[in-house]
Amino acid sequence: MQKLALLKGDVKHYDWGGVSFIPALLQVENPQMKPFAEYWMGVHPAANCTLELNDGREVLLRDYIRMNPDALLGTAVNAAFGQMPYLLKVLDVKDMLSIQVHPSKAQAALDFEAENQKGTPLNAPDRNYKDANHKPELMVALSGFYLLHGFKPEKQLLQTLEAVPELHVFIPVFKTEGYKGLYKMAMELPQEEVNELLQPLINRIIPLYLQEKLDKSSGDFWAARAAQIFIQPGSIDRGIFSIYFFNIVHLKTGEAIFQDAGVPHAYLEGYNVEIMASSDNVLRGGLTSKHIDTVELLKHTKCEATHPQVIPARGDKKEKVYPAPVPDFELHSYDLKTGDELVLEPATAELFLLTDGEAELSADDTRIVLKAGSIAAAGFPGAVIKILAGAPSRIFRATVPL
């Protein structure tokens, strides 16, 4: 079995994506200005990710690992997961994504089977659970990056509700029924009442947004942007409430954040590298035209104060590790100068992603040059992988904590 191979990921053209960042990474033309939202690398059924072998064949990464899972995953990872347990992505968030929550592993297995028993097709637009796995996520900012992350602490949230006249209606509910009552009210309000509450707010903030008088640290900025993107005639998106309920987090390049099951979140703007358990289970709570199941959303949402924990990269100038409290994945990054060398010995299947520069990877008789256009490779146990930087480079390494 080949121990190192060039990897070709799978582009997702979701409508919120940008048109230039990922095409530039992949060195592909985009004359039609299609949105390139995500670049997937992994074995998830929705990721048609291929290895280019030395003999000229292309084979799906998941099929290649299935040929000899003990050898290619390592005995421990194969016993624990049965396949590569993580999914690696690059994202270009031009327009904000839907507010979403992911289920726990135990609950995902139960709810996935329940939908199977109902006979709901996997590709049905009203299907909530695409697989039986959880989807904890860790993202590293490749630019300044904005996101919503969990409910504001109580004092801060109450100040927000008091400062925005249109949200005063939520104050007594929050004081008596807490976060759960607040979110349930916002998600279950009849659409006519949502419109009545939010229309005056939108009328007030959109002129300020258009005059560039709002700051990105303000809920008004993102609410005005959401109003322009998501409002349909006669139906204002109730996700705008959550922009005020949730923490607005600004990550600097190189900073990371972890999002566990039940933490409501939404990406607002920027580029990132994201690693997660190999799953596509998403329950949505607004800022989307996709299916929203309020009952399922409320069942899985952690309605509690969240104090965002921005993760600084830990390590030296060359290698950094981004810790995550799950067994499914671990992410490293390497900032290399021209001529720097690394020697790595994978204990399980690993992915290498180049986001800047140029680097040569070699193992046995295989030699790969990663640069713009060919940005990823896969390495397997038993290999001694040597990395030589041909220019100042940044490489991310996805693996499993062992």
For residues 313 and 327, membership in a common domain is answered with no
For residues 212 and 302, membership in a common domain is answered with yes
Please name which of 169, 104, 144 lies closest in space to residue 248, comparing C-alpha atoms.
144
Asked about 57 being catalytic, the answer comes back as no
Give residue 398's pLDDT. 98
Last residue of a domain, one of 317, 335, 368: 317
For residues 272 and 392, membership in a common domain is answered with no
Choosing from 62, 238, 284, 394, the catalytic residue is: 284
Give residue 189's pLDDT. 97
Contact 45, 84 (CB under 8 A): no
For residues 312 and 326, membership in a common domain is answered with no
Domain count, the chain: 2
Asked whether residue 64 is domain-assigned, the answer is no
CATH of the domain at 161: 2.60.120
For residues 356 and 265, membership in a common domain is answered with no
* Cβ neighbours of 78 (radius 10 Å): 19
At residue 378's C-alpha, the angle toward residues 372 and 383, to 5°, is 125
Last residue of a domain, one of 317, 338, 356: 317
For residues 171 and 218, membership in a common domain is answered with yes
CATH of the domain at 366: 2.60.120.10
Give residue 181's pLDDT. 98
Please name which of 107, 130, 132 lies closest in space to residue 46, comparing C-alpha atoms.
130
- The CB-side HSE value for 55 (13 A sphere, CA atoms) comes to 4
For residues 294 and 331, membership in a common domain is answered with no
Tens digits of pLDDT across the chain (402 residues):
899 999 999 999 999 999 999 999 999 999 999 999 999 999 999 999 999 999 999 999 999 999 999 999 999 999 999 999 999 999 999 999 999 999 999 999 999 999 999 999 988 988 999 899 999 999 999 999 999 999 999 999 999 999 999 999 999 999 999 999 999 999 999 999 999 999 999 999 999 999 999 999 999 999 999 999 987 888 999 999 999 999 999 999 999 999 999 999 999 999 999 999 999 899 999 888 888 888 889 999 999 999 999 998 666 778 999 989 999 999 999 999 999 999 999 999 999 999 999 999 999 989 999 999 999 999 999 999 999 999 999 999 999 998
* Cβ neighbours of 46 (radius 10 Å): 15
pTM of model > 0.85: yes
For residues 112 and 173, membership in a common domain is answered with yes
Give residue 315's pLDDT. 67
For residues 262 and 351, membership in a common domain is answered with no
For residues 263 and 301, membership in a common domain is answered with yes
For residues 284 and 359, membership in a common domain is answered with no
Last residue of a domain, one of 270, 300, 317: 317
Give residue 161's pLDDT. 98
Asked whether residue 304 is domain-assigned, the answer is yes
Cβ-in-10-Å burial (0-12, 13-18, 19+) of 187 comes to buried
For residues 239 and 328, membership in a common domain is answered with no
Q: Give the range of the structural domain holding residue 350, as residue numbers without chain letter.
A: 318-399
Q: What is the DSSP letter of 312?
A: P
